[in-house]
């Protein structure tokens, strides 16, 4: 039986998706025969309530100088991070010379606002290609993996931090103990760790199993995060539900006893009890809904294929890698996937090898149906696709249920 990465108890996986490639591993044909696969399975630890992957590829296989995810590609997310930089983080600044550290700072989408305001900062980002974009914006970036040792170096060079921020990154640390020890020593006595990640409650409510892939090692809840940080003398002092990335949670963590705890924490924990996040049966039911979702999607796409309809994927997301490989959907059912990220264009999707093409190819010849893999950016995308709708194009969605959106869905 696998061992929980947080509390070392044993747990059983509740679902196995079979062999999966690296979710962001878009590749060229000459790389097809050396593509790396691992077994994707997810389980729930009944002792500490942490939902987690059984196996994860090495970090160097996921994050390197050809990393395909650029945070600034979504205008909506760029605005979200601007609000975090200007409105959320300053609440916790203890002096008028605050110091901020960001873990997983990517292309500088958040820290560029610290540059503009003259706030002392350090971003940590091991993927050299995205880090370079941040450095070009003047963002102080260390191109390394954050861990306890690097935290010590940052502390001796810059002093302790008012805020350590991290978005969509904490959930991937197999070396979590080192990361949290590092953060605990890096934070001032009144400092806070603020982090945001996709929320387990949303995954269960929406059956958004496409959140499950190599980079997402943990599926956090308030209960499991609180238990996790308490092992390092810290506690969750505030939480806030966020609409981003299909449903996320922001956790504010402080040294235990240093700051008062908001009533939002207990309120969210009560909701988690109601949702059954600690009950094994919840995960059994989730597995059944995932299997149903797969059957529904394959049936729908096979029907369109038989009817001679053109179906194109919209957004070559890391999430789509799980859908495509688990449902065994290849270029016979999806002609290509359109994506605005230059590094993905001209490559092929991990595992199923569907061509990834530019957005221009999507608009040059609209398909009958677009399968919205980037469903977490639905609002931003629908707002700019009026011409596709006018041309009679329809959206296929798979979250929260597989279906085709009504024509009058977007006005």
- Residues binding ligand TMP (CB under 6 A): 73-74, 315-319, 339-341, 374, 376-377, 380-381
Least distance between ligand TMP and beta carbon 182 (Å): 26
Least distance between Zn ion and beta carbon 405 (Å): 40
Give 55 or 380: the residue with its C-beta nearer to ligand TMP. 380
Assess 112 for contact with ligand SAH (CB under 6 A).
no
Stretch that binds ligand SAH, among 8-16, 103-111, 261-269, 304-312 (CB under 6 A): 103-111
Assess 40 for contact with ligand SAH (CB under 6 A).
no
Which of 56, 71, 141, 325 contacts ligand SAH by CB under 6 A?
71
Least distance between ligand SAH and beta carbon 76 (Å): 11
Least distance between ligand SAH and beta carbon 245 (Å): 8
Residues contributing to the site for Zn ion (CB under 5 A): 4, 6-7, 9, 45, 47-48, 50
CA distances from 189 to 123, 183, 284 (A): 21, 12, 42
Give 168 or 293: the residue with its C-beta nearer to ligand TMP. 168
Assess 126 for contact with ligand SAH (CB under 6 A).
yes
Assess 248 for contact with ligand SAH (CB under 6 A).
no
Give 5 or 294: the residue with its C-beta nearer to Zn ion. 5
**Among Zn ion, ligand SAH, ligand TMP, none, partner that 47 touches (CB below 5 to 8 angstroms by kind):** Zn ion
Contact 301, 311 (CB under 8 A): yes
Least distance between ligand SAH and beta carbon 181 (Å): 13
Q: Which of residues 166-205 bind ligand SAH (CB under 6 A)?
A: 167-169
Assess 67 for contact with ligand SAH (CB under 6 A).
yes
Give 293 or 321: the residue with its C-beta nearer to ligand SAH. 321
**Among Zn ion, ligand SAH, ligand TMP, none, partner that 127 touches (CB below 5 to 8 angstroms by kind):** ligand SAH
Assess 84 for contact with ligand SAH (CB under 6 A).
no
Least distance between ligand TMP and beta carbon 303 (Å): 26
Least distance between ligand SAH and beta carbon 288 (Å): 31
Give 48 or 111: the residue with its C-beta nearer to Zn ion. 48
Q: How far apart are the first and last CA of the chain?
A: 51
Give 125 or 238: the residue with its C-beta nearer to ligand TMP. 125
Cα of 274 vs its chain's centroid, Å: 25
Least distance between Zn ion and beta carbon 51 (Å): 10
Contact 265, 254 (CB under 8 A): no
Three-class DSSP labels, the chain: CCECCCCCCECCEEEEEEEEECCCCCECHHHHHHCCEEEEEEEECCCCCCEEECCCCCHHHHCCCCCCCCHHHCHHHHHHHHHHHHHHHHHHCCCCCCEEEEECCCCCCCCHHHHHHCCEEEEECCCHHHHHHHHHCCCCEECCCCCHHHHHHHHHHHCCEEEEEEECCHHHCCCHHHHHHHHHHHEEEEEEEEEEEEEHHHHHHHCCHHHCCCCCCEEECHHHHHHHHHCCCEEEEEEEEECHHHCEEEEEEEECCCCCCCHHHHHHHHHHHHHCCCCHHHHHHHHHHHHHHHHHHHHHHHHHHHCCCCEEEECCCHHHHHHHHHCCCCCCCCCCEECCCHHHCCCECCCCCCEEECHHHHHHCCCCEEEECCHHHHHHHHHHCHHHHHCCCEEEECCCCCEECCHHHCC
Residues that bind ligand SAH (CB under 6 A): 59, 63, 67, 69, 71, 103-104, 106, 124-127, 130, 145-146, 167-169
């Amino acid at each position: 039986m696998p061992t929980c990465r947080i509390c070392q108890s044993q747990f059983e996986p509740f679902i196995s998706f079979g062999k999966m490639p690296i979710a962001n591993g878009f590749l060229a044909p000459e790389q097809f025969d050396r593509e790396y696969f691992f077994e994707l399975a997810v389980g729930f630890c009944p002792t500490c309530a942490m939902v987690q992957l059984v196996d994860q590829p090495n970090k160097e296989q996921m994050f390197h100088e050809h990393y395909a995810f650029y945070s600034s590609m979504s205008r909506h997310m760029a605005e979200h991070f601007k609000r975090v930089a200007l409105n959320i983080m300053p609440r916790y600044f203890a002096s008028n010379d605050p110091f901020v550290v960001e873990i997983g700072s990517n292309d500088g989408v958040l820290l560029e606002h610290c540059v503009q305001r003259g706030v002392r900062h350090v971003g940590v980002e091991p993927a050299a290609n995205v880090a370079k974009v941040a450095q070009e914006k003047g963002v102080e970036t260390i191109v390394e993996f954050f861990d306890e040792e690097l935290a010590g170096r940052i502390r001796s060079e810059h002093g302790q931090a008012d805020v350590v921020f991290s978005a969509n990154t904490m959930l991937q640390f197999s070396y979590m103990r080192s990361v949290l020890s590092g953060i605990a020593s890096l934070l001032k006595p009144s400092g806070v760790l603020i982090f945001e990640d996709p929320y387990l409650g949303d995954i269960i409510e929406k059956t958004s199993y496409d959140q499950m892939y190599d980079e997402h090692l943990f599926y956090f809840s308030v209960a499991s995060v609180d238990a996790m940080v308490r092992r390092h003398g810290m506690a969750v002092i505030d939480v806030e539900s966020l609409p981003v990335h299909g449903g996320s949670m922001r956790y504010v963590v402080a040294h235990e006893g240093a700051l008062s705890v908001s009533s939002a924490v207990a309120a969210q924990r009560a909701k988690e009890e109601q949702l059954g996040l600690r009950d094994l049966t919840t995960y059994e039911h989730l597995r059944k809904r995932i299997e149903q979702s797969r059957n529904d999607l394959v049936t729908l796409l096979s029907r369109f294929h038989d009817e001679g309809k053109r179906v194109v994927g919209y957004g070559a997301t890391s999430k789509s890698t799980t859908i495509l490989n688990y449902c065994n959907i290849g270029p016979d059912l999806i002609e290509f996937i359109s994506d605005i990220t230059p590094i993905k264009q001209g490559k092929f999707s991990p595992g199923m090898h569907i061509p990834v093409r530019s957005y221009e190819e999507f608009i040059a010849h609209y398909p009958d149906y677009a399968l919205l893999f980037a469903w977490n950016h639905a609002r931003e995308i629908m707002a700019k696709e009026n011409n596709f709708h006018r041309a009679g194009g329809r959206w296929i969605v798979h979250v929260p249920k597989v279906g085709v959106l009504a024509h009058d869905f977007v006005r």
